Amino acid sequence: MDNKVLIIDDEDNIRKLLTRVLELEGYKVCQAQDCGSAVKMLKLHQPDVALCDVFLPDGNGVEFVSNIKEIVPDIEVILLTAHGNIPDGVQAIKNGAFDYLTKGDDNYKIVPLLNRAMEKVLKNKGLNVAADKRQPYSFDSIIGNSPAIKNVINLAKKVSLTDVPVLLTGETGTGKEVFAQSIHNNSCRHNHPFVAINCSAFSKDLLESEMFGHKAGAFTGAIGEKKGLFEEADQGTIFLDEIGEMAFELQAKLLRILETGQYIKIGDTKPTSVNVRIIAATNRDLKKEISEGHFREDLFYRLSVFHLQLPSLRERGEDISLLADHFLKQVTLKLGCPLKKINADALKRLEEYNWRGNIRELRNVIERTLIICDGDKITINDLPVEIQMHFEVHSEGRNPSEFEMSQMEKYHILRVLDHTHGNKTEAARLMKIGLTTLYRKIEEYHI
């Protein structure tokens, strides 16, 4: 059967971009620009998953979820918004949405999330989702030749063959979900579901309902019985991202699952049994959280039977050129633009930069740079200002010209222009120079 996706968004460019990306992933895509046309497409094509904008010309996507599911009961709906907020996210989930993403911040999550939504639809229809070949996560897909990343990959391969809980720690953007999915796909559970949930994305009560489910009438709005994500993940793996954000009261319930394989749904009196492997991840120092009374010590030791600390990008600088090249090819394919290369000076600056956002930040920089670059090669001037201006603390081996006053003046002007979002009048005022002087220096320094 066709894996059909309906994109509902009033912005033509967004629809075209998402369509191209999803078609490259093997999906059959149809489009609608508002609620009215979406209703027609839903009746005509009976899609499996809908990607729906929140703010539509003739309605609100959060409220429209219920209408979508009335027309196509088996469909899963992922809401997209440019201005995310917690109340809308909570209401969207209550209305039956599969998830709620913020455009821009969560772009990298769209395809993996859509894959999981499609798997759920196919499973509910009684189809074999194990045959889906689009799953991109494997240890072979993790890029890097540095000793730091190779060591973690080797350890992850070994633990994937067991069934013990795994705790992944590391800074934001180091690839914890990629490792979690790779461990699952290399395990004996690979033919069963991989279910992920971000523990920081929900309030305590909503997170409890999402993880463990509820009985009909358990609370206001609980019209029918709801399966929790642990039940959805039965025989497979559940990935608890940002586990350090989980409310203290819920930690006891999670501990019971680890100890007995049982939990009680909200509003139920009988335990539900599941066979699930738990992989948890956090960028927090859980031992510090324990000492401050925010995290249970007994839960920490049950989750961290096997602990993997993922290296930051700063610890694997030799992998930056490989990652940059990979992202260039990936983004080029997504945007449909000519393939470009990074010149030596720009690559050196990327390798010297202190990547606080790690791999995720690098990918975002490559995508932004590829969009604004006019030539066939990416140069230093195409990079974001903060990277252009970055210097190592130690000067050994550096180009002496980078310490010339003219270069420092250029970087200062770039920084101020970035601060004023390109407003030259305001930049001249802040630097206390004439506007004509600023224009002359912009031309002189080829800014």
Q: What is the 3-state secondary structure (H, E, C) of 395-418?
A: CCCCCHHHHCHHHHHHHHHHHHHH
3-state secondary structure of 5: strand
223-233 tens-digit pLDDT: 667 888 999 99
Here the tokens at position 425 are 């009048």
The overall average pLDDT reported for the chain is: 85
Task: Give 126's pLDDT tier (boundaries 50, 70, 90).
Answer: low
The pLDDT of residue 86 is: 60
Mean pLDDT, residues 198-214 taken together: 85
Higher pLDDT, 1 or 32: 32
Question: Residue 129: is its pLDDT beyond 70?
Answer: no
pLDDT, tens digit, 9 for 90 and up, residues 296-316: 999 999 999 999 999 999 999
445: its two tokens: 């320094």
Distance CA 302, CA 258 (A): 7
Residues 352-385 as b or e (16 or more Cβ within 10 Å = b) = ebebebbbbbbbbbbbebbeebeeeebbebbbbb
In the numeric block, which tokens belong to residue 84? 């995310």
The dihedral formed by the CA atoms of 146, 177, 199 and 64, expressed in degrees to the nearest 10: 140
Segment 257-280, tens digit of pLDDT: 999 999 998 888 899 999 999 999
Give the ranges where 125-223 is alpha helix by DSSP (H).
147-160, 176-185, 204-212
pLDDT exceeds 80 at position 25: no
User: Is the pLDDT higher at 137 or at 164?
Assistant: 164
Percent of the chain with pLDDT over 90: 45
Q: How far is CA 197 from CA 6, 32, 82, in A?
A: 23, 29, 21
For residues 353 and 347, the answer to whether their CB atoms sit within 8 Å is: no
Dump pLDDT digits (tens) for 242-253.
Answer: 999 999 999 999
State residue 397's pLDDT score.
46
**pLDDT for the residue numbered 395:** 40
Dist CA 171 CA 167 (whole Å) = 13
Burial label, 140 (beta-carbon count in 10 A; 0-12, 13-18, 19+): exposed
Q: Which is more confident, 405 or 17? A: 17
Which whole number is the average pLDDT over 184-203? 89
- Residue 412 and residue 345: Cα distance in Å, rounded? 19
The whole-angstrom separation of Cα 406 and Cα 150 is: 42
Top-confidence residue, 129 or 356: 356
Task: Please determine, for residue 396, whether its predicted confidence score (pLDDT) is greater than 50.
Answer: no
Tokens in use for 265?
């749904």
* Whether pLDDT at 68 is above 90: yes
Is pLDDT above 90 for 104? no
User: What does the block give as tokens for 405?
Assistant: 């006053």
Nearest to 415 by CA among 434, 388, 437: 388
CA distance 140 to 17: 28
- Mean pLDDT on 51-78: 90
**DSSP E strand stretches across 14-162:** 28-32, 49-53, 55-56, 59-60, 76-81, 99-102
- Tell me what pLDDT residue 14 has: 85
How high is the pLDDT of residue 424? Answer: 86
- The pLDDT of residue 283 is 94
Residue 421 has pLDDT above 80, yes or no: no
Give residue 379's Cα distance to chain centre: 28
Q: Which two tokens stand for residue 173?
A: 């953007």
416 φ, ψ (degrees, to nearest 5): -70, -40
In this prediction, residue 89 carries a pLDDT of 66
Contact in structure between 182 and 137 (CB atoms under 8 Å): yes
Neighbours of 92 (CB within 10 A): 23
Report, as an integer, the average pLDDT of 129-134.
Answer: 39
Predicted pLDDT at 403:
53
The residue assigned the tokens 């489910």 is 213
The residues with which 273 forms a beta bridge, in sequence order, are 262
Using 50, 70 and 90 to split pLDDT, how confident is the model at 132? very low
Instruction: Please determine, for residue 152, whether its predicted confidence score (pLDDT) is greater than 50.
Output: yes
Specify the pLDDT at position 222.
63
pLDDT for res 105: 53
Report yes or no: 150 and 263 within 8 Å, Cβ to Cβ: no
Residue 207, pLDDT > 60, answer: yes
Q: How far apart are CA 440 and CA 447, in angstroms?
A: 10
Q: Do the bridges between strand 277-282 and strand 237-241 make them parallel or antiparallel, or are there none, so unpaired?
A: parallel
Query: What's the whole-model pTM score?
Result: 0.63
Here the contacts of 57-64 (C-beta below 8 Å, separation 24 or greater) are: 57/10, 57/33, 58/34, 59/34, 59/35, 61/8, 61/92, 62/88, 62/91, 62/92, 62/95, 62/97, 63/95, 64/8, 64/35, 64/38
Both tokens assigned to 185: 């796909």
